[in-house]
Structures are given as C-alpha cells and as structure tokens.
C-alpha cells in the first residue's frame, strides 16, 4: 500500500523475454516493441481468470442494487411509502446527485488508496445501503438511503475501468471492460428473475414483499465484497499469483504503450489530473457517454414500468419476467461489439455503428402503440445501448498516457455518464404515460446526437494525427527535462490519437 500511495514501482528494469528496458524507445510507438506472443497469451488468460470474475460479480450486484428500485416499484414500494406525483423520479435523482459529486474524487481515491482495498470497501458500503433500503418507511428515509447508495457506488464503474487499465493493453481493454459491463444488461435480466423468485416467498425474517428484494440482494452484495478483499490485487508487481517473469512481462506490456514514460504507476499531481480532464477526446467521449446513459439508465429504471404499460393485464411476476429477454440479447451484443473492437483495435467506428438500431427502436416506440411492436423495440435498444460503456471507457483510456491522467479521465467520463443517468430519471414522467412520447423522443434525440458527435470526433482525430505527423518532435522537446516531457501526456508531439 505504501508503494501505491507514493506511485512507486517495483520494476527493477530487468528485461522480459530477452528484451531490455533500455531498448524501449521513449516515444509514442513503443507498442512496436516485440514481446513473446505466446507468453503474452498465457499471461492474458491468467489475468482473465484472476481479475475479471471478481470485478464482474461486484458490478453485477452494484447495478442490481441500483436498479432494483424499479422492480420494487411495481411490487408496491410506491404505495407503501406513500409516493405521489414525481416522488419516484425524485428518489432516482437523489441517487445520481451523490453519484455525480463523488465520481472523480472516488477514482482519485482509488489510485491513492489502491484498488485492491478501495473497490471491495465501497462494495461493502453499497451492499449495506441496499439492506438499509429494506427498512425505510417514508420518502425522506428512502431519499437518505439512496443518497448514501450513490456515494458508495460512484467509484465502482470508473474504478474497475482504471484498475483493469493497469493490466491490459489498450486493444485488449475494451473486451475486458465488456466482460464486467455486460453485467448491466445481465443485471436487468437476472434482477428481474431474482425479484420474481424473491416475491414468491412469504417473508424473510421480518421482511415481506418488495422489502425482501432489497434485503436479500444487499446481503449477497456484502458477501461478495468480503470475498473480494482477498481476491483483488492492486497491480502486477504485487500479484502473488503471478511468477516473477509474468510480473515483469505484465509491467513491460503496459509500459510499452506509454509515450515518454519510465514508470507505469506515476506520482499523482494536479497537472496530470487536469491534463486527463481537458483531453479533447476524453471530453468528446464523455459527452457521448452522457447521451448514451440517458437511454441506458432510463431503460434500467423504467423497463418494468414500460412492460406493465404494454401488458397491463399480466400478473406482476409475469411483467417482471417480460423484462428479462431484451437484457439477454443486450448481453450478447455487449460482448460481441467490444470483441470486434479488440480484434481491429478500433473503438470510435464501433461507437458510430452502435447507433442505428437504437434510433430504429425509439422510432418504433414513437411510431406505434402496438404492444408486440413496442416490445420488439426493446430488443433493438438493448442490442446496442450497453456496449457503449466499455467502448467509451476504453477509448478514454487509450487516448491518455499517464496513470494519473487516466484516473481523472475515466472518472470524468463516468461522471458525465451519470449526468445522463440523472437526466434519465426525469425522462419518463407520470403524465407522459402510458406511451411516453416525451421520454422516447428525448432518447431518440440523444442517440442521433451520439451519431453526429462520434462521427465528427473521428474526422477530427484523423485530421489532427495528420497535423501531428508534420511536427518536428526533436525541436519541440529540445531543452525540456525528462519530467517536463512526461508531463506533456497527450500534448507530446509523438502522441497519436487512437481511433
């Protein structure tokens, strides 16, 4: 932990697979360094086995603990708490207020304290908050618990993205992020099934009805968080489950893609933090994630309500089950699109390609009231919505250099995404039901804007790369110290945007 807080690295400069560090040129295209591909493949499989399952399960129950209020609502939460008018929307908004406020500070704390401790600790916190939600009796109590829930959950998504960026190459990162972000649509599917199963019980202790949903799911989260204290490792240098050679290789892989850096975990300073936030591609991608999250979170919170409006004569349990199939389809595409991105090492074009089906889906919602057609539209939405999460976070990670800048950049991206989540809580209002033309129109406009902004950003990145190709790096860097060169980050003349 002390090493982590100082940003120190235990790398001793020894070579990997017959390659010495001195042979790694301190320029942008360090990815040209040749490492043994078979050793890399073996290491990558080992990382997948030890890292991905834990963070995926934590994020699954993070999303369930956030969105299960939608399942609880159609099971009677609104009536039991005396919610009227816009009270339910306000409850959703309160969660996002704390989520947004604590987003960037949480990711900075994740770097400072070390993700091996920080991620399990905040997971324990939101698990306890979920259990507390089972014991609220009025709007004020529920609002307080939701605020605390948002405070703890704020750090998990950006924290995991930042954590995995310490272990994987940029081309590999998108797919690995999808392996935990796929838990968002899976949470919709599994959460609906779990809520349906829980509601068949008479009681659990003193809890009955919708209260059992929060209680049982919160207890599961607490158990997983306690286990994760023993399964998560801060960084390659401290991973006891790696051999010394594997630790060196893991560090060299990451260092090989960093422009003008001699350390993987740098010391934290405000200049680098601000550099990550002011990166043009980070700002553009954050805007895309904001717009996308309006639709993602809106679907998560209101899918049960939408299904109830489509099939009002079905039982509550049946309505819960109808929310499952679209999320299963969403899970498949959340893995497929990032897998394609990994193989071609491109993210921006996949972001652009994710928009047409969403546009068609919301157009169907606006163009017809036929229940079967509108239910079919939910499949089109889920097929592309959730894949933007891993694509956006990996695009941000790929287009900054230092570890410190990466922590603030990912924090900003997810913070902006949750501004979209806050907007989504007011997208489906009571007076707009049962067809919700305002909410569906807002989501259609957001998706069309994603298409335009993503396309414009791709054109700008290609143009700026051509401009950078004509610059004289040697002249621009003349007279600068090693530290000054490293602090340039994405402003380094040898840096190239990764579309």
Q: What is the pLDDT of residue 8?
A: 37
Task: Report the distance separating Cα 241 and Cα 197, nearest Å.
Answer: 38
3-class DSSP state for residue 83?
A: coil
Would the pLDDT of 269 be above 80?
no
Look at residue 303 in the predicted model and tell me its pLDDT: 67
Model confidence at 319, in pLDDT bands (50, 70, 90)? confident
Residue 149 has pLDDT above 80, yes or no: yes
472 compared with 126, residue with greater pLDDT? 126
pLDDT tens-digit map of 240-249 = 899 999 999 9
Residue-level pLDDT at 263: 59
How many CB atoms neighbour CB 50 within 10 A? 16
Q: Supply the DSSP string of 225-248, one letter for each residue.
A: HHHHHHH--SSGGG-TTS-HHHHH
Cα–Cα dist 298/225, whole Å: 27
Domain ranges for the chain: 44-491
End-to-end Cα separation, the chain, in angstroms: 35
Greatest mean pLDDT range, 20-29, 449-458, 466-475: 449-458
Q: Could you tell me which residue, 473 or 356, shows the higher pLDDT?
A: 356
Name the average pLDDT for the chain: 83
Model confidence pLDDT, tens digit, residues 362-415:
999 889 888 788 888 888 888 888 888 889 989 998 898 887 888 889 889 988
- CATH of region 44-491: 1.20.1250.20
Give the residue from 402, 159, 404, 407 showing the smallest Cα distance to 268: 404
- The pLDDT tens digits for 213-241 are 999 999 999 999 999 998 898 888 888 89
Per-residue pLDDT of 181-199, as tens digits, reads 887 777 767 777 788 788 8
Tell me: pLDDT of 88 over 60.
Answer: yes
Task: Tell me, letter by letter, the H, E, C secondary structure of 431-463.
Answer: HHCCCCHHHHHHHHHHHHHHHHHHHHHHHHHHH
- Whether the CB-CB separation of 424 and 301 falls below 8 Å is answered with yes
Q: What pLDDT shows up at residue 19? A: 37
Work out the percent of the chain whose per-residue pLDDT is above 90: 33
pLDDT at 452 over 90: yes
């Amino acid at each position: 932990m002390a090493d982590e807080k100082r940003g120190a690295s235990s790398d001793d400069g020894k070579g990997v697979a017959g390659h010495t560090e001195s042979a790694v040129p301190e320029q942008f295209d360090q990815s040209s360094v040749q490492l043994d591909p078979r050793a890399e493949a073996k290491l990558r499989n080992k990382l997948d086995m030890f890292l991905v399952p834990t963070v995926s399960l934590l994020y699954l129950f993070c999303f369930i603990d956030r969105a299960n209020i939608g399942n609880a609502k159609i099971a009677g939460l609104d009536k039991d708490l005396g919610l009227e008018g816009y009270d339910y929307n306000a409850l959703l908004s309160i969660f996002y207020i704390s989520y947004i406020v604590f987003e960037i500070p949480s990711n900075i704390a994740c770097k400072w304290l070390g993700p091996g401790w920080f991620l399990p600790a905040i997971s324990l916190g939101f698990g306890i908050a979920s259990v507390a939600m089972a014991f609220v009796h009025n709007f004020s109590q529920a609002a307080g618990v939701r605020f605390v829930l948002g405070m703890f959950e704020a750090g998990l998504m950006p924290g995991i993205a930042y954590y995995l960026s310490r272990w994987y190459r940029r081309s590999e990162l998108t797919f690995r992020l999808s392996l935990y972000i796929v838990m968002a649509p899976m949470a919709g599917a599994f959460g609906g099934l779990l809520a349906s199963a829980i509601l068949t019980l008479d009681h659990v202790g003193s809890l009955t009805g919708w209260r059992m949903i929060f209680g049982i799911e919160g207890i599961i989260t607490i158990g997983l968080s306690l286990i994760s204290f023993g399964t998560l490792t801060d960084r390659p240098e401290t991973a006891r489950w790696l051999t010394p050679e594997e630790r060196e290789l893991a560090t060299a892989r990451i260092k090989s893609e960093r422009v003008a850096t001699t350390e993987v975990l740098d010391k934290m300073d405000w200049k680098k933090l601000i550099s990550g936030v002011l990166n043009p591609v980070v700002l553009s991608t954050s805007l895309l994630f904001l717009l996308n999250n309006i639709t993602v979170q809106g679907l998560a919170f209101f899918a049960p309500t939408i299904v109830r409006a489509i099939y009002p004569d079905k039982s509550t349990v049946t309505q819960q089950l109808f929310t499952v199939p679209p999320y299963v389809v969403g899970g498949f595409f959340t893995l497929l699109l990032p897998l394609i991105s990994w193989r071609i090492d491109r993210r921006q074009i996949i972001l652009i390609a994710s928009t047409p089906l969403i546009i068609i889906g919301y157009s169907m919602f606006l163009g017809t009231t036929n229940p079967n057609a509108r239910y079919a539209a939910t499949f089109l939405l889920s097929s592309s919505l959730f894949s933007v999460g891993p694509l956006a976070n990996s695009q941000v990670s790929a287009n900054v250099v230092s570890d410190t800048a990466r922590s603030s950049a990912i924090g900003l991206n997810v913070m902006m995404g949750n501004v979209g989540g806050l907007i989504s809580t007011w997208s489906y209002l009571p007076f707009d039901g049962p067809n919700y033309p305002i909410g569906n129109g807002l989501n259609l406009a957001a998706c069309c804007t994603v298409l335009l902004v993503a396309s414009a950003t791709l054109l700008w990145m290609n143009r700026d790369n051509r401009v950078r190709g004509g610059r004289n790096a040697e002249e621009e860097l003349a007279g600068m110290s090693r530290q000054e060169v490293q602090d340039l980050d994405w402003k380094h003349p040898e840096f190239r945007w990764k579309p």
